[in-house]
């Protein structure tokens, strides 16, 4: 059945509205972003929002799912490799640390580098400060599998139990060294007297975080690093 011109125009509006939602929800938050501003940013008719999403809430859910999918596309392979290595008794410490370094570099580039990554990260931060029903999408779709992989790697490198609350706290504290540069971006830029993070700045942040995290990944007394792997 041939679709009408109106339907064809409306179909093209969906990805435009999702892209506009990433920018505006990231900049202003859910409550302060109007449907009118979303439609104007996307360059589409206001009626396209209820037509495709049922309303602003539906568009926001679609934006969050888009972020989850995009994060998994970029970072998922790194976490998959970590999970595979942690399940392999033959994986040695050097191989595990190499996977850790690659993950941190990728996380820094995605979170602090590209503008779309920064906008998405802003929405992720907002959801953790004041969660909406969309938080479940973020947690189950990205945060939980990512944290499980990261915690498993920390546990493997330190010879600790990945299920123990102390190990999970340790893993999150270590990851926080990277997250602070997104959560506290404006403070960091002001303190460093930077106007923005350049590609070289992001690479240096990643290397410093790698140095500090590796220094903390020490097995308990009496267990050698080689035995911990």
- Write down the pTM of the prediction: 0.85
CA dihedral 68, 71, 77, 83 (to 10 degrees): -60
- What the chain holds in terms of domains, given with CATH numbers, is 1-54 (1.10.10.60), 63-228 (1.10.357.10)
Residue 82: enclosing H or E segment and its boundaries?
A: helix 56-86
- Average pLDDT in the 207-224 region? 84
Q: Is the dihedral of CA 83, 85, 90, 92 positive or negative?
A: negative
Residue of 56, 47, 65, 48 whose CA lies nearest to 29: 56
User: Does the pLDDT value for residue 11 go beyond 80?
Assistant: no
Predicted confidence (pLDDT) per residue in 116-143, tens digit: 667 888 899 999 999 999 999 999 999 9
Q: Is the pLDDT of residue 9 over 70?
A: no
List pLDDT tens digits, range 47-92.
999 999 999 999 999 999 999 999 999 999 999 999 999 999 999 9
Of 23-27, 65-69, 203-207, 216-220, give the lowest mean pLDDT range.
216-220
């Amino acid at each position: 059945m041939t679709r009408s011109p109106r339907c064809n125009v409306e179909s093209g509006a969906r990805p435009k509205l999702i892209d506009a939602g990433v920018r505006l929800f990231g900049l202003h938050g859910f409550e302060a972003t109007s449907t009118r501003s979303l439609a104007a940013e996307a360059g589409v008719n206001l009626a396209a929002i209820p037509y495709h999403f049922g309303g602003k809430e539906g568009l926001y859910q679609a934006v969050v799912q888009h972020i989850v999918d995009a994060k998994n596309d970029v970072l998922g392979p790194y976490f998959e490799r970590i999970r595979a290595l942690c399940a392999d008794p033959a994986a040695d410490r050097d191989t595990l640390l190499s996977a850790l370094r690659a993950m941190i570099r990728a996380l820094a580039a995605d979170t602090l580098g590209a503008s779309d990554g920064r906008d998405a990260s802003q929405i992720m931060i907002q959801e953790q400060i004041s969660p909406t029903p969309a938080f479940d999408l973020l947690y189950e779709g990205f945060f939980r599998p990512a944290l499980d992989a990261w915690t498993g790697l920390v546990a493997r490198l330190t010879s600790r139990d990945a299920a123990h609350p102390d190990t999970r706290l340790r893993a999150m504290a270590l990851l926080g060294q990277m997250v602070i540069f997104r959560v506290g971006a404006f403070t960091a830029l002001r303190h460093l007297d930077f106007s923005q993070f350049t590609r070289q700045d992001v690479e240096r942040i990643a290397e410093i975080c790698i140095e500090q995290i590796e220094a903390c990944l020490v097995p308990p007394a009496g267990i050698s690093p080689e035995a911990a792997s």
